Amino acid sequence: MADNTVKIDALDTTEPFDVCIIGSGPTGTIIGKTLVENGIRTVILEAGSSMFNWLTDSQIKQYADFESTGNTNYPEKHTKASLLGGTANFWTGRCERLHPSDMEPHAYTPPENPWPITYDDLDPYYEKAERIMRVRGNSQRSKYSPPRKTPLPLPQTKDISFLTELLDSIGVEVDDSPTAIPQKSIRFFKVQKEILPGFAASPNLTLVTGAIVRRLVSNADKNIVGAEVQSFEGEKKVVRARIYVLAAGGIGAPRLLLMSKSEHHPEGIGNTYDRVGRGFNEHPAVNFYAQIPHQRKTIYPLSKIARTHQFYSTYREEGLGSIMPVFRQSWILPHHNMPLKISKIPHNMLAIAQRLLHATLYMGVVIEMKISDSNRVTLSTKKKDPFGDPLARVHMDYADEDIALLERSRELVRDLYAKVGAGNIYEDQITFSRHLQGTCRMGTDPKTSVVDPDLRAHESPNLYISGSEAFVTGGAMQPTLTIAALASRLSEHLVTRFKEGSVPPAG
Ligand SMILES: Cc1cc2nc3c(=O)[nH]c(=O)nc-3n(C[C@H](O)[C@H](O)[C@H](O)COP(=O)(O)OP(=O)(O)OC[C@H]3O[C@@H](n4cnc5c(N)ncnc54)[C@H](O)[C@@H]3O)c2cc1C
């Protein structure tokens, strides 16, 4: 944990801060870094604290819980976390850009709420985000990949030549999977280890862990005038700032807005037009395993990942979403018979022997979901956090288009397997990527979106909301690089506002 972390009892709330950031995941950390480095007095309020605390304290686990309903059976476990560094403590570091076509009108764009920014607007911030996240990958990317003007910051080191050659032989061009590479963490890039130490010691930063923001308080002008904070030990404070940035994740952000009902915001903050929480979308994936004959390059027991952007927009012509096929070559991936059951041991032993004789080729397809107003985050009437406040309820059904796109993806996988001569094909369960998108959409119309193109809440001039909750559509790419790009763009906007003196004093 960063050295200068304080608990809320040590928090001095007499002087208002310039900026109060709620959440210390990639969004909050990246925004905090730029603000602090530009002399802006910033407080980051994080509900959780250390990994140890996350693993041992039932209260924080309860706080991070939510209720799930709908025919997707969306998993409540391992979806979001509350600790320093956010849910990204558990991410795998894959860092892809959205495609330019994602931000142009397509079959899933809500007609009344198109993306208010373009890929070109985001391009310089993608470059910045890739540097901040130390993204590694081959700079000679296929012609189907999102365009880029500069090489990736770190060169490719993974050898995916087996997959490249195999799939090239059937006319499919693949790329490696750009990945954030840690310098200070063991396996995955963690923002609290890689980014936070660079500004943690600054006198401009106050980082408070174990600080749960229970309500945002607003005045008659709908400005935010305070964040009510409480610890599980019962300590209470009201943090005041000139600007508030909600960086609480795609479920945490709408929950806090909905919980902050008052006479000035009877439906919750930013929710006059009932938009907060609507449009939740994720990345479901179909998953297949099959066997192929060993070749020289499959002998190594390594798991190598490649993806193809070639089919990204193929099904958009049919009115469906984008897709991202993923390939992995290995012969030690547990599958077919896992989880291991005692009764299946003989069968498993046989399968293990078979795996030595054949290489495994995984193919999965991640799909974009149709945006639906009824897929939404609201407040649960069943589940409560340790304070007795309602937890979030996430309702998500598959649209007909989602079912159709999952089926198209299965057909595509089976076709590719047939072309490479794979046998013994096994379809595993649908999985979700834990990408929490779309619940506080950006747009130009307050009636159809929650934040404006600068990520400023339409209704509350001193409140910004940043993260994948601001995405208008979800594409089929992992969101965190776009989250980091939006965070970089927002922090630049805030620095400009402070420098030009356009930020009013705290209310
Ligand atoms: C298993 C797994 C694998 C993943 N792999 C990838 C991947 O490879 N690539 C990718 O792009 N994405 C991946 N993701 C998703 C990625 O983790 C998220 O996109 C990312 O963490 C979002 O960052 P964030 O800062 O917006 O939110 P978070 O990381 O969720 O951080 C939000 C923080 O806000 C805090 N908070 C919330 N409400 C309050 C409150 N009221 N008061 C105080 N604090 C509050 C929370 O405690 C939390 O720490 C993965 C996720 C999981 C679970």
Q: What is the DSSP string of 11-59?
A: ---SSPEEEEEE--SHHHHHHHHHHHHTT--EEEEES---HHHHHH-HH
Atom from ligand 1 closest to the CA of residue 94 = 8
User: Is residue 350 domain-shared with residue 404, that is, in the same domain?
Assistant: yes
The SS3 assignment for 94 reads strand
Distances (CA, A) of 214 to 155, 387, 467: 44, 9, 19
Same domain, 444 and 419: no
* CA gap 480, 196 in Å, rounded: 17
Cα–ligand 1 centroid distance for 87 (angstroms): 3
Give nearest CA residue, ligand 1 atom 13. 91
Give domain status of residue 104, yes or no: no
Exposure pattern of 167-197 as b/e (b: 16+ CB <10 Å)?
A: beeeebbbbbbbbbbbeebeebbbbbbbbbe
148 vs 435: CA distance, rounded Å: 24
442 Rama sector, left if φ>0, alpha if ψ -120 to 50, beta otherwise? beta
**Whether 404 and 441 share a structural domain:** no
411 and 322 assigned to the same domain:
yes
At 287, which helix (H) or strand (E)?
strand 284-293
Handedness of CA 100, 126, 459, 249 (dihedral sign): positive
Reported in sequence order, the residue ranges of 356-462 that DSSP labels E, i.e. its strands, are: 358-367, 376-384, 390-395, 423-432
- Asked if the structure places residue 475 within a domain, the reply is yes
Domain shared by 326 and 417, yes or no: yes
Are the C-beta atoms of residues 62 and 288 closer than 8 Å to each other? no
Q: Please give the distance, rounded to the nearest whole angstrom, from the Cα atom of residue 77 to the centre of ligand 1.
A: 14
Is the residue at 27 inside a domain?
A: yes
CB 210 within 8 A of CB 48: yes
Q: Which residues lie with the beta carbon below 6 Å from any ligand 1 atom?
A: 22-28, 45-48, 78, 80, 82-83, 86-88, 90-94, 212-213, 247-249, 252, 256, 434-435, 467-468, 478-480, 483
SS3 458: coil
Closest approach atom of ligand 1 to CA 84: 49
| Pair (463, 487) in one structural domain | yes
Q: Whose CA is nearest to atom 52 of ligand 1?
A: 91
The residue whose CA is least distant from atom 32 of ligand 1 is: 248
Residue nearest to atom 17 of ligand 1 (CA): 88
Looking at 407, 432, 457, the residue that finishes a domain is: 432
Q: Which atom of ligand 1 is nearest to the CA of 25?
A: 25
Any idea what DSSP says for residue 10? G
Burial class (CB in 10 A: 0-12, 13-18, 19+), 423: exposed
Among 84, 91, 433, name the best residue to mutate to test ligand 1's pocket (greatest count of ligand atoms within 8 A of Cβ). Answer: 91
Widest CA span of the chain, in angstroms? 72
Residue type, 97: R
Nearest atom of ligand 1 to the alpha carbon of 467 = 26
Strand (E) positions, 83-127?
none
Residue 441 burial (CB count, 10 A): 25
Q: How many domains does the chain have?
A: 2
- The CA 471 to ligand 1 mean position distance, Å, reads 15
- Residue 40 CA to residue 205 CA, distance in Å, equals 8
Mutate to test the pocket of ligand 1, among 27, 57, 87, 136 (most ligand atoms within 8 A of CB): 87
| Protein residue whose Cα sits closest to atom 47 of ligand 1 | 82
Q: What is the CATH number of the domain that holds 45?
A: 3.50.50.60
Q: Report if residue 125 sits inside a domain.
A: no
Asked whether residue 313 falls in the same domain as residue 348, the answer is yes
> According to the model, what pLDDT value does residue 394 have?
98
Q: Which atom of ligand 1 is nearest to the CA of 256?
A: 41
Distance 92 CA to ligand 1 centre (A): 12
At 331 the pLDDT is 61
Residues 414, 417: Cα–Cα separation, whole Å? 5
- pTM value > 0.75: yes
Low-confidence ranges of the chain (pLDDT < 70): 1-4, 301-303, 331-345, 348, 351-352, 354-355
pLDDT of residue 301: 59
296 shares its domain with 260: no
CA separation for the pair 81, 47 (Å, rounded): 10
Distance 237 CA to ligand 1 centre (A): 25
Nearest-angstrom CA–CA distance, 255 and 258: 5
Q: What is the pLDDT of residue 338?
A: 45
Nearest atom, ligand 1, residue 469 CA: 26
Token pair, residue 157, equals 């080191």
Index of the ligand 1 atom closest to the CA of residue 478: 11
Using the mean position of ligand 1's atoms as its centre, give its distance from the Cα of residue 387 in Å. 22
Q: Which residues contact residue 380 at a Cβ distance below 8 angstroms, ignoring those fewer than 6 apart?
A: 66, 67, 390, 391, 392, 393
Separation of 397 CA from ligand 1 center, angstroms? Answer: 22
Let me know whether 343 and 218 are in one domain: no
Q: Is residue 103 part of a domain?
A: no
455 Cα to the center of ligand 1, angstroms:
18
Residue 137 maps to a domain = no
Pairing state between β 175-176 and 358-367: unpaired
307 and 382 assigned to the same domain: no
Same domain as 293, residue 196: no
Domain termination residue (choose one: 432, 448, 483):
432
Atom of ligand 1 nearest to the CA of 480: 11
Nearest CA to ligand 1 atom 39: 248
Domain that includes residue 165, residue range: 157-177+284-367+399-432
Are residues 289 and 226 both part of a single domain? no
How many Å apart are CA 487 and CA 22, to the nearest integer?
13
Mutate to test the pocket of ligand 1, among 84, 480, 488 (most ligand atoms within 8 A of CB): 480
Query: 47: CA distance to ligand 1 center in Å?
Result: 13
Task: State the distance from the centre of ligand 1 to the C-alpha of 25, rounded, in angstroms.
Answer: 6
Q: What's the CA gap between 102 and 230, in Å, rounded?
A: 40
Amino acid making up residue 443? G
Separation between Cα atoms, residue 383 and residue 394, nearest integer Å: 12
What's the pLDDT score for residue 303?
Answer: 67
Q: Is residue 140 part of a domain?
A: no
Cα–ligand 1 centroid distance for 80 (angstroms): 6
Residues making up the chain, counted from first to last:
507
Residue nearest to atom 33 of ligand 1 (CA): 23
**Is residue 100 in some structural domain?**
no
